[in-house]
Structure 1
Amino acid sequence: MNICMFAKGLPVHTKGGMEVHVEELAKGLVKRGCEVTIITTKHSKKIEREKRDNLKIYYVGDKPLKYTRKFYKESAELFERLNNKEKFDIVHSQSTSGFGFVKFSHKKIPFIITLHGTIKNEIKSALNSKSIKGFIVASYLFLKWILGPVDKITLKKADKIIAVSNELAKDIKRQYRVPEEKLVVIPNGINVSKFKPMSVEDLREKLGLAGEKVIVSVGAISKQKGFHLLLKILPDILKEYKNVRLIIVGTGPYLQKLKDMAVKLGIENHVIFTGRVSDEELPKYYNLADIFAFPTLRMEGLPLVVPEAMACEKPVIASRIGGIPTVIENNVDGILIEPGNLKELKERIMEVLRDEELAKKLGKNARKKVVERFSLDRMVEDTIKVYKEVLGCWEYAGNYRKY
């Protein structure tokens, strides 16, 4: 199968969940004998094309990680030129990156879109931050929704729509009135050979964590991710557990405000801000955790950090929002809390700190679930199944597995 994939970005642009998903999926498809060409936004180093990991990658448009008219037009023109030679079997759009193909191309090629979220959910997430900036972002997104319904047009063209969580599939069906038979759920897959339990005594020693209980949180540092909520409850936790450290892994526009907040609360000696951590080192930081906490306020399709931490056999406490309930069954393989509920967040963290057997049970169940149902291999196999169904190879397709 020869696949052309459109994407807003790749890990060379930023290490976000969607960017990692695109590259891991593409590499998995290549390993199974597919040819994959990726058309994405401008490279910051002005590279126009490259070939790596047997992927053919083209960078177009005028801005990295931005959907602009120039990107849509150039991506469609490039597709036309490449298709004359490649004769693609499938066009796969990650989010609305394939809008240029929809608007400017007249080729009749099976078209699939994977949605990682919706504009309406982005608006809700921005308002959840309860900030002036959040209100401005929500207003901009609302105008975008009204004046330029790119997502509606792109979804209408799709032969099949992949949602990355059960919750997102329901939102797509309700918000866009998409027929159920057009939807399929394929969650983001995790490399369970990379994210796994491992000894990290060297890193514990390096960070001075001997005898400490460690709470870890990972992600792009923005107010919507809820890191500030962990800082707010830490003084109360320290009253009962003096030996607790909070490690926040990641970087972003809200990082300095978090550092200032830690100083203001008098907890700066109990918080470690690591900044950006390499892909190779990231599993080690998950494995530092006695608890992985992710009190996000953002309605995401399925944030990768949650199943990554679960794959490392860690007890996860996360918000009941977006696609997180697709991967966590409350009190079985993780703990779900109401978004923004400080009292519940504090109480559940302290409960797991007190109860080592509960922590162990949640971690074991979490790893087992991710290996069985949320692995990278399963994601790739189920995506190929969608391709084959759309191409009419019914004998290979069969029924979709439930998540």
Structure 2
Amino acid sequence: MFFGPAFGKLAYMQGRSAFRSARNSLTVLIMPGERNGCKLKMNILLVTMSLGIGGVETHIAELAKELIKRGSNVCIAANEGIYSETLRAAGAEILILPLDSRSPKAIVSSYRGLKRYILNRKKQGSQIDLIHAHARIPCMICGRLHKNFHGEFHYVTTAHGVYSKLPGEKYITDWGERSLAVSDDVKKYLVDCYGVSPNNIDITVNGINTECFAPAGNDEQVVKITEILGFSSSCRHRVMHVSRIDSASSDAAYQLIESIPELYKRYSDIEIIIIGDGTEYEALKKKADEMNNLIGRKVVFLLGARTDIARILSCGDCFVGVSRAALEAMSCGLPVILAGAQGFFGIFDESEESLNTAMRTNFCFRDMEASSSDKLTKALIEIFGYDKDKLLDMGMNGRNIVTKYYSVSKMADDAEKMYSSVMKN
């Protein structure tokens, strides 16, 4: 077995059946040539867990689209998700594999499916030049592929966060010839927990599409979206929140709901808009329904997974959240309160100290105090007390920061610099 005896004979037998299914579902290969008037530069295989809603998924989607614009041929291997069709329309090939599962059956299936895909590309004269893996399961699988193909292609990775590590995971997770980390603390995590050389890690950013995530063009656009989604047209205290709704990421969503009774005393038009999906969605919906019944009207709106987040954010008065979602809100010109499952910072201002603190942890604040409903309530009361000019200045300053430091172009430049580095070797 390619992962050793830990997976055992049962995993092998399960994998044979799963592999047949994966083999039969392989998508049509794209041959090198011309696309959109540009000569293809590289055949790149991006490998991640899924193409559903999430910060990592959006990062990969934006990176893939930019690499295609620059002339590369991109395939994305992942489990099916909401971004699949958008990426196909942009010119990416999608290879559906169960890369979001740790089960031995899924791991064997993913390994075999990727191996067959690489061999087919080689036979058809469009050999993969480089694999770029994101997240630990893809890194484990792609690292083994790289070794078994004896360097026929290059292998690099991006680390997006800091996670708990299972026993022995250090020895089966391969972070490639070079790595990108989305913040300084993620780089430290790779060095301390996996023994990756700091000389092999560069810092990148979560590139935000500032053309898509932009302030509302006109009031008519906001009115139309407000009507479609059932928001109150008279609300002037609408709080937006975007996050994965699972046990590791939903703290702020619950805390926002808990803050409503105190906020409602001051702002009777208050609305909390929560966008996202995950394993905690039904439990969160129950809390939202209870709060709506307590207040006597719909205060909490749970919108589930959406791909039109930029349009919806344009209806907000402020945003609560962290990481990529916070950067997207800043790009839309919203004042931001930075709070999430990993830490609480509070109202973000344009000071150099605030920016450096945020950038150090990719706007996640892993080294800060925990968030709570009381802290969120106080921060929201403070931000709702600002006058219109101050709020507009905060929004504009936030957008300027995203434009300067967090562009999609910068993210793609970082990736291509890493690709060039390993190709030279």
TM-score by length of 2: 0.73
Query: Are positions 1:387 and 2:415 aligned together?
Result: no
Greater CA radius of gyration, 1 or 2? Answer: 2
Kept in 2, the 8 Å contact 1:165–1:323? The answer is: no
- Taking structure 1 as reference, are residues 212 and 52 closer, same or farther at Cα in structure 2, changes over 3 Å only? closer
1:175-207 CA-to-partner distances (Å, cap 9, x unmatched) read: 223222111111121110000000312223452
Query: Are positions 1:100 and 2:141 aligned together?
Result: yes
Match of 1:217 in 2: 241
Structure 2 gaps, min length 5: 1-40
Q: Secondary structure at the match of 2:48?
A: coil
Structure-2 separation of matches of 1:167 and 1:373:
18
Q: Secondary structure at the match of 1:273?
A: strand
- Quote how far apart the aligned CAs of 1:360 are: 2.6
Kept in 1, the 8 Å contact 2:317–2:334? The answer is: yes
Kept in 1, the 8 Å contact 2:330–2:398? The answer is: yes
Kept in 2, the 8 Å contact 1:10–1:19? The answer is: yes
- Superposition map of 1:165-244 within 5 A: 165-198=183-216, 199=218, 200-205=222-227, 206-223=230-247, 224-226=249-251, 227-244=253-270
Match of 1:28 in 2: 66
Structure-2 separation of matches of 1:359 and 1:349:
13
Q: Secondary structure at the match of 1:207?
A: coil
Structure-2 separation of matches of 1:195 and 1:51:
21
Q: Secondary structure at the match of 2:93?
A: strand
Match of 2:100 in 1: 65
Kept in 2, the 8 Å contact 1:204–1:210? The answer is: no
- Superposition map of 1:114-153 within 5 A: 114-120=158-164, 145-149=166-170, 153=173
Match of 1:89 in 2: 129
- Quote how far apart the aligned CAs of 1:366 are: 0.7
- Quote how far apart the aligned CAs of 1:277 are: 5.5
Kept in 2, the 8 Å contact 1:8–1:66? The answer is: no
Structure-2 separation of matches of 1:330 and 1:347:
20
- Quote how far apart the aligned CAs of 1:22 are: 1.7
Structure 1 gaps, min length 5: 121-141, 297-302, 394-403
1:360-401 CA-to-partner distances (Å, cap 9, x unmatched) read: 3321111001111111122112211111122229xxxxxxxx
Structure-2 separation of matches of 1:324 and 1:386:
33
Kept in 2, the 8 Å contact 1:5–1:39? The answer is: yes
Which AA in structure 1 matches 2:301?
A: F
- Quote how far apart the aligned CAs of 1:80 are: 3.3
- Taking structure 1 as reference, are residues 237 and 322 closer, same or farther at Cα in structure 2, changes over 3 Å only? closer
Which AA in structure 2 matches 1:218?
A: V
Alignment RMSD (CA, Å): 3.1
Query: Are positions 1:316 and 2:336 aligned together?
Result: yes
TM-score by length of 1: 0.77
Structure-2 separation of matches of 1:324 and 1:80:
48
Query: Are positions 1:353 and 2:380 aligned together?
Result: no
Structure-2 separation of matches of 1:170 and 1:369:
24
Which AA in structure 2 matches 1:385?
A: K
- Taking structure 1 as reference, are residues 193 and 340 closer, same or farther at Cα in structure 2, changes over 3 Å only? same
Structure-2 separation of matches of 1:252 and 1:321:
15
Which AA in structure 2 matches 1:55?
A: A
